[in-house]
């Protein structure tokens, strides 16, 4: 497969090891997610891929996104609006979300492991992770 990034290749190998057959549609969805920083919705992925894959349905997109989330390749971002967004960047990072247009931008602040440690010490919980969101208006919405 021409031009396949190393991250897409690794993700495909991980799926194969989990017994997931790699179809052209799966490859296209995975590539679409891994080649963007826009945190697309399933509908946005569908619109991007439908010209090249006219037989692909929105249900196919959703089913494959669920598969990728379960395999640990993709993160589902739910922020109280009506549609989930998907992020193939599984590194520790945070998100800044526009309250007007819903745009999500990665924020590369160092992970707050000390907050997890403090929460564990104070509550006795075994902490498995945390999520932090920052809300505001993106530059475009602010300037309207």
Question: For the chain, what are the domain ranges?
Answer: 6-87, 94-142
User: How distant, in Å, are the alpha carbons of 38, 63, 115, 137, 141 from that of 87?
Assistant: 8, 16, 23, 20, 23
pLDDT in tens, the chain (144 residues): 444 567 777 878 888 887 788 888 999 999 999 899 899 999 999 999 999 999 999 999 999 999 999 888 899 998 766 679 999 988 888 899 998 988 889 988 887 888 999 999 999 999 988 888 899 999 999 998
* Nearest Cα residue to 76 out of 100, 109, 45, 112: 45
**pTM of this prediction exceeds 0.85:** no
Residue 57: predicted pLDDT: 95
Tell me which CATH code domain 6-87 carries: 1.10.10.10
30, 8 Cβ separation under 8 angstroms: yes
100, 64 Cβ separation under 8 angstroms: no
Tell me which CATH code domain 94-142 carries: 3.30.1490.190
Query: What's 138's DSSP letter?
Result: -
Residue 39: predicted pLDDT: 93
Rounded to whole angstroms, how far apart are CA atoms 138 and 143?
A: 9
């Amino acid at each position: 497969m021409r031009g396949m990034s190393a991250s897409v290749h690794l993700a495909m190998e991980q799926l194969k090891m989990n017994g997931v057959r790699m179809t052209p549609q799966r490859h296209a969805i995975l590539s679409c997610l891994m080649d963007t920083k826009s945190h697309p919705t399933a509908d946005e992925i569908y619109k991007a891929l439908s010209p090249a894959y006219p037989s692909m349905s929105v249900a196919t997109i959703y089913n494959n996104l669920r598969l990728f989330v379960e395999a640990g390749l993709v993160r589902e971002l739910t922020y109280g609006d009506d549609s989930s967004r998907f992020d193939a960047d599984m590194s520790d990072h945070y998100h800044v979300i526009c309250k007007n247009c819903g745009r999500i931008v990665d924020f590369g602040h160092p992970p707050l492991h000390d907050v997890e440690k403090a929460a564990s010490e104070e509550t006795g919980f075994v902490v498995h992770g945390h999520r932090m969101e920052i809300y505001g208006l993106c530059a475009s919405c602010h300037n309207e």
